[in-house]
Structure 1
Amino acid sequence: MQPRNTNWLREELLQLLSLAGTLAGLCITGVTLFHTTGRAAIATVADDVLAVSALLFLLCTYTIFIALRTRNEKMAVFLEKVADTLFLLALTGMVLCGFVMVYAVW
């Protein structure tokens, strides 16, 4: 397996950093919205899932930041995989929360 081009890796990490930060803010906004509108049982599940997703997105941003700062290419590739996994888990949580919200409205 060939190592990736470092410029490509850096660009991918920068794009993921921006997206993860934005989605973390969106999750926190969703949690705040649930807390201000009421505490139905379904809202409690949804805001818990959004809170965990926000935490995972924030961990993803820290992982990306460290990957961008390291000079060790193997470490950067490993941290990229960790960031990708954290991002995928957090995004899956957001999608699940979306299904819960649709179920609550329906």
Structure 2
Amino acid sequence: MHTPHSGMGIAAFITAVCGAVLMLGLVVIAGIIETTTPGGMEETSMSAILVGLGLMLTALMQLVAFGLGVAGALQADRRRVFAVLGLVFSIGSMLGVVLLMVIGSLS
């Protein structure tokens, strides 16, 4: 008999992938605004505030995906593939954004 996938693992995977795509889109939008605005993006502009708020919300999505991934990985008698993938995507996207921020602050 084949064991079913973890529902929390599937939710973690979907949340992590959607959050990663949104996060990547916001980083691209921030880069476009930075390069097309003379003198760079104004920190107090509405676009900068909205991009920053969006990044915080996607970071919250990744934390939720991480929690769901851990819960899905700990479920007994369930397949853990999607839970582990959700963990990998949530951790990877968060580390990617942190790495971009560090690189940006160094240059």
TM-score by length of 2: 0.53
Cα separation, 2, equivalents of 1:66 and 1:102: 35
**Equivalent residue letter for 1:63:** I
Query: 1:92 — aligned with what?
Result: 60
- Show the 5 A alignment for 1:49-68: 49-68=15-34
Identity of aligned residues (%): 13
Q: Which runs of 5+ in 1 are unaligned?
A: 1-37
- Higher share in helix: 1
Query: Any runs of at least 4 consecutive aligned residues in structure 1 with deviations exceeding 3 A, and if so which?
Result: none
Q: How far did 1:68 drift?
A: 0.9
Q: Is the 8 A contact 2:13 2:69 kept in 1?
A: no
**Equivalent residue letter for 2:26:** C
Q: How far did 1:82 drift?
A: 2.0
**Equivalent residue letter for 1:46:** A
Cα separation, 1, equivalents of 2:64 and 2:19: 10
Q: Is the 8 A contact 1:63 1:79 kept in 2?
A: no
From 30, 47, 53, the equivalent of 1:79 is: 47
Q: Is the 8 A contact 1:64 1:83 kept in 2?
A: yes
RMSD: 2.5
Q: Secondary structure at the match of 1:79?
A: helix
Q: Which has the larger radius of gyration?
A: 2
The structure with higher relative contact order (CA 8 Å, sep 6+) is 2
TM-score by length of 1: 0.53
**Equivalent residue letter for 1:102:** V
Q: Secondary structure at the match of 1:101?
A: helix
Query: 1:42 — aligned with what?
Result: 8
Q: Is the 8 A contact 1:63 1:82 kept in 2?
A: no
